[in-house]
Amino acid sequence: MQYLSNVSTLKLDAKACTGCGMCVKVCPHEVFAISNKKAVIVSLDACMECGACKKNCAFNALEVRSGVGCAAGIIIGTLRGADASCDCD
């Protein structure tokens, strides 16, 4: 799945990354992969900015403004009883 191109706030600090692979495990859209013992972003436009990667990175190698992307739109719509949508069609 792809959202809007080149708008994700996700950033990876390769120097801080240890290659533990936690981001790969928790990302629901396979945004990350491990290459040469480090995480790499393989599909930035698939990031829905849910924040799971940042919350689970023990090395502070990830930054993302969760709550501003598609995940926020879906959650807010659901909480308000409206159609859950991120308007990324």
Q: Tell me the CATH number of domain 11-79, given options 3.40.50.1820, 3.40.1190.20, 3.40.50.620, 3.30.70.20.
A: 3.30.70.20
Q: For the whole prediction, is pTM greater than 0.85?
A: no
3 to 24, 41, 71, 79, 85: CA distances (angstroms) = 19, 15, 11, 22, 12
Band of residue 53 on the pLDDT scale cut at 50, 70, 90: very high
Top-confidence residue, 36 or 79: 36
The answer to whether the Cα torsion of 18, 59, 72, 44 is positive or negative is negative
Q: Does residue 43 contact residue 24 with C-beta atoms inside 8 Å? A: no
Over 70: is that where the pLDDT of 58 sits? yes
Exposed / middle / buried, residue 33 (Cβ in 10 Å: 0-12, 13-18, 19+): middle
pLDDT at 89: 46
Domain boundaries, the chain: 11-79
Distance CA 31, CA 89 (A): 19
